[in-house]
Structure 1
Amino acid sequence: MMLNRRTLVKGAAATLVAAPALAQDWRGTTLRFIPQANLSSLDPIWTTATVTNNHGYYVYDTLYAADMDFVAKPQMAEGHEVLDNGLRWRFKLRAGLRFHDGEPVRAQDCIASIMRWTQRDAFGQLVGRVVDDWAVIDDRTFDLKLKKPFPLLLDALGKPDTPAFIMPERHAKTDANRQVTEMVGSGPYRFVAGEYNSGSRAVYEKFADYVPRPEPASRGAGGKVGHFQRIEWHILPDPSTAANALTRGEMDWWERPPADLQPLLARNRDVVREVTDASGRIAIMRLNHLHPPFNNPKVRAAVRMAVFQEDYMRATQGDDTSAWQLCRSLWPKGTAYYNGEQEDLMPQSIARATEALKASGYAGEKVVIINPTDFPDIGPLGQVTADILKRIGMNVELAETDWGTVIQRRGSREAVDKGGWSIFHTTGPAPGWGTPATSLLVRGQGARGWFGWWESAKAEQLTQEWLDAPDEAGQKKAAHALGRLALEEVATVPLGQFTLKTAYRRTLTGMPHGSAPYPWSVKRA
């Protein structure tokens, strides 16, 4: 069965009436924003949820940050020196950096923050392997000593998604497997804890003591100039309500309008629709490797064979094929290591998948798909998967809930009868999943890795070979082998690649480009 429209927003365009008007309390210094999903987790180091990463850019800053060309540029750092033949890096902070509680940012805060990040992040874990020691030189200067050179250190610290956000030392010493709940950073906006209501709204106020860099903003780098004194995130899970709020001028900016409503928004001359990240995103299915049935590689392979990407893309992104494309590879199109479609591994055949499942030893174990009803780019993915797996003969339970609950539940390592899960779906930025160091999808870290916990010593060996390769040819060889291995063993199933159009009132200018809806540069005309 091909799902040509989102179940989540079925009929939304036809019923775009009767949404209750939101209270009009405009001040010229306030921006009202509709995020992609509810902000249920606040710690951007603890979770990889994109909405939490976006929140992180408001509250925290980073030592280095990637610009639009993905070149790491100094951000909180004034600069650095590479000493002892690459075995020692000395970093110096910019003068005048302060946290939102008024305390100065110190070298100790940076060290503790990076250490916590190296325990959670895939790229960070590669950094952690080669760290020998840290040393505080003074409040603004610290050394990182390495066991062996790590030329990609700056790229790691400032990567566009889940970078090493800097927080106070007392927060950074929180166990990496527990969430930090008090939001104190040194970024351009301060989190207003007293107005936070998960499922309703989050509020940020401009941090008066933030000193932007002098360079123009470029992705996460440069001068993060906030032009609004206050930014309100309004959680509006019903697309009809969100569209009404934007077209009536009750909201300024809607991060991700669903495909079904794009034509409607296009007819409103007061609304601008724009692709702000041309590199796009990929959709994926993630399997739990710890428990039956997906601890059996033959069962996983049967699922991979059944995936017909066009069904997924039409269900979430609509019938406009200019907005999406097939990508039967774990290296997204447009990234350095994409080397063609893996059609032999993804034949898109229900018949072949059914036969493979019969031969796999599958014994009818329940497959629990945890799936959000409030996330139009993700919810239909789970619905398509449930239909496909039933057709090939699996015992499927579609456990539909909100995205915040999915984020929490996917961290469970229990069996499904004890609250665990078998499959979840999500999307991620193509550049962020474009190298062995940054992609969660191809790493075989097991218990230390991403949800699903695929374990493969060979995958980790290939990642190290990529890091150690003396030239580009060696890097490509290792990356191509890694991408093939991860798809063969079904670490992750790719579901297609797409671009998104954000929508905002024409009164806004300076809309930032990059892989997140950054709060800087944008202002009211």
Structure 2
Amino acid sequence: MTSPGRLRTLAAALLGLAILVAQAQAQTTLRVVPQFDLKILDPIWTTAFTTRNHGYMIYDTLFGVDEAGKPQPQMVGAFEASPDKTVWTFTLRDGLAFHDGAPVTSEDVVASLARWAKRDSLGQKMYAVLDKAEVVDAKTFRLTFSRPFTMTLEALSKPSGVPPFIMPKRVADTPADKQIEDTTGSGPFMLKADEFRPGEKVVYLKNPAYVPRAEPPSGTAGGKVAKVDRVEWVMIKDAQTQVNALVNGEVDMIEWIPTEHYAKLKESPGVELVNAIPSGSYAMHMNHLVPPFDNPKIAKAAILAVNQEALMRAQIGFKELYRTCTSIYPCGSQFADGQTSYFTGKPQFAEAKKLLQEAGYDGKPIVLLYAPEFVVLNKFPPVMAQLLQQAGFKVELQTMDWPSVLIRRTKKDPADKGGWNMFITGWGGPDTMNPLFLAPLTGNGEKGWFGWPTDARLEELKTQFLFAADDAERKKLAEQIQLQVFDGAIFAPVGESTPLTAVRKNHVSGVVKAPITVFWNIEKK
């Protein structure tokens, strides 16, 4: 016979087990098909959107931008600027801690900003006039500039390209040209490293120690409340398989829908299409460091081959989802301008052939990088190859997956020795709103973004823009910067589109309108 005491012990054990089982069952998992695979985990080292989104999962920023694009404090609790805007003092808010339990300190912030500034266009300009970044105490730091720096908050809240994520000092001390190996952050989610399978799945767990701000979520600002326990990024390359997985309930969300299935998703009763992020753009980028695009005439000939309507029609398909736009800034935005020198967005093959002849193009094929399984961009390269051939170029499409494109574009070798000549990529609206946010305009020569053009005039204009007295002067300088981009044959805009997110209707809610895709505030039923 079992004693009453043993029965009570057994009952307590069974109750405890039942509670654990109930808790496990109650856990919510949001399964998402991201834009593309995550292989690079360092958001300071690359401008890849998936790596940037990964950054927002596990890191936090000093400031965010609200839905209107205005900087708002995030990790910062209070700040003040001297009347002449040369001295800025910031105090961190209470409750900030890294995933390992260590408090976030001013030393972590100063080290993180220093590393970020080596990789980002605005960061480089900012630190060029920074006299010192000093730790005042554990929660207070100060930035002192040699001249008034009115774009401090814009820099610290930069939402895309290379956002200034805050990392532990030991991680931020990693040289800027080397990828980090430690993914300890302080954000609302934590990377589950033992389940990270590049090409298959990325898993994030809710950070139970994260203290969100009290304000409602807005853009990358406000309260970052994780309302699911687990987020899984599921890598599905085939567009039809993505759609089937969503319709069948195998995944809950497709970050960017494959546009060839727009009509089907629009009519599906179990799917809701959400316009959560602003319209983005696409651009053709060239390697100016090696032949043939080290010759500006040949680079200009390639730009003259661009046919925006043909490229956008091929990639997006549905006219209501795209538009041509010749400005390097979003059409309709503050700095958008119709002055684009020779660039019309329409092909000018005769002029292109003339430039090639004048430049002595030797007929060597240019290497155009092509990721056929990356549904967001996969129609552009074949069409661009045809356009270039009509302009007099010989073209070699080199096939690989998109993460390999991201790695390949870092190589500065000649194209026939593992390098490259051209690729096409996309940019979010926040990446192109401001000439100092534009990653392709980062730095000069080999210190710049992939493609590495050298243009002293462009650098001078960027500096003038940085210290412009008012919006009217900035507008004039933004126009001059755009003209210099075309006259210097830096890159060419391809067009704009409206990215749509698809979620399971009546199962997923709370998607935040933001300049980039964020996963806090999302609820799953």
TM tier relative to shorter chain = over 0.9
1:196 to 1:87, Cα distance in 2 relative to 1, 3 A: same
**Secondary structure in 1 aligned to 2:379?**
helix
Alignment partner of 1:127 is 2:126: yes
Per the TM alignment, residue 180 of structure 1 is displaced from its structure 2 partner at its CA by 0.8
Q: 1:187–1:444: structure 2 CA closer, same or farther, 3 Å change rule?
A: closer
Of structures 1 and 2, the larger Rg is shown by 2
Q: Which amino acid aligns with 1:247?
A: V
Report how far residue 401 of structure 1 moved: 0.4
For 2:325, the equivalent position in structure 1 comes to: 327
Which one-letter code corresponds to 2:321 in the other structure? A
**Alignment pair present for 1:396 and 2:387:** no
* Distance of 2:247 and 2:426 partners within structure 1: 27
TM-score (norm 2): 0.92
Paired amino acid for 1:354? K
| CA distance 1:468–1:391, change in 2 (3 Å) | same
Deviation digits for residues 103-137 of structure 1 (CA, Å, limit 9, x no counterpart): 11011000000000000011111111111112212
Give the secondary-structure state (helix, strand or coil) at the position aligned to 1:85: coil
* Structure 2 counterpart of 1:108: 107
- Report the alpha carbon displacement of residue 444 of structure 1 after superposing the two structures with TM: 5.8
Partner of 2:203: 203
Contact 2:256-2:500 at 8 Å conserved across structures: yes
* Aligned-partner SS, 1:354: helix
Aligned to 2:514: 514
Q: What residue in structure 2 maps to residue 56 of structure 1?
A: 55
Q: 1:444 and 1:44, CA in 2 relative to 1: closer, same or farther beyond 3 A? A: closer
Q: Distance in 2 between matches of 1:503 and 1:28?
A: 23
Alpha-carbon distance, 1:27 to partner: 6.0
Is the 8 Å Cα contact of residues 453 and 490 (structure 2) preserved in structure 1? yes
Does the 8 Å CA contact 2:121/2:441 hold for their aligned counterparts?
no
How far apart in 1 are the matches of 2:47 and 2:191? 19
From the superposition, tell whether residues 224 and 480 of structure 1 become closer, same or farther in structure 2 (CA, over 3 Å).
Answer: same
Moved more, 398-407 or 127-136: 127-136
Asked whether the 8 Å contact 2:340–2:482 carries over to 1, the reply is no
Q: Distance in 2 between matches of 1:410 and 1:26?
A: 44
How many aligned residue pairs are there? 499
Give the whole-Å Cα distance in 2 for the aligned partners of 1:408 and 1:477.
36
* Structure 1 CA distance for aligned equivalents of residues 90 and 335 of structure 2: 32
**Aligned 8 A contact 2:341 2:487 in 1:** no
Aligned to 1:345: 343
Cα-to-partner distance string for 1:263-316 (whole Å, 9 max, x where unaligned): 111222111012112x30110010000011001111111111111101110111
Letter in 2 for 1:59: I
Contact 1:442–1:483 (CA under 8 A) maintained in structure 2: no
Deviations 1:300-358 (A, max 9, x none): 1111111110111011111x211111111212202211112637323422333223322
User: Root-mean-square deviation (CA), in Å?
Assistant: 1.5
String of CA shifts for 1:32-63, please: whole Å, max 9, x gaps.
01000000101100000011101110000000
The answer (yes or no) to whether the contact 1:330–1:442 under 8 Å persists in 2 is no
CA contact (8 A) 2:339 2:483 kept: no
CA contact 1:292–1:365 (8 Å) conserved in 2: no
Aligned position for 1:226: 226
Q: Structure 1 pair 432/38, CA: closer, same or farther in 2 (3 Å)?
A: same
**% same residue:** 38
Structure 1: 4+ residue segments shifted above 6 A: none
Task: Decide whether the 8 Å contact of 2:132 with 2:144 is kept in 1.
Answer: yes
Report how far residue 359 of structure 1 moved: 2.6
- In structure 2, relative to structure 1, the CA distance for the partners of 1:93 and 1:348 (3 Å cut) is same
Note if contact 2:485-2:491 (Cα within 8 Å) is conserved in structure 1: yes
Name the amino acid aligned to 2:158.
K
- C-alpha separation in 2, matches of 1:464 and 1:273: 41
Q: Partners in 1 of 2:467 and 2:227 — Cα distance? A: 44
Q: State the partner residue of 1:11.
A: none
Q: Distance in 1 between matches of 2:431 and 2:388?
A: 29
Unaligned runs of 5+ in 1: 1-24
Which residue matches 2:474? 475
Alpha carbons of structure 1 residues 120 and 444: separation in structure 2 relative to 1, 3 Å: closer
Q: Secondary structure of the residue that 1:379 maps to in structure 2? A: coil
Equivalent position SS for 1:148: coil
- Unmatched runs of 5 consecutive residues or more in structure 2: 1-23
Q: CA deviation at 1:84?
A: 7.0
Distance 1:392 1:82, change over 3 A: same
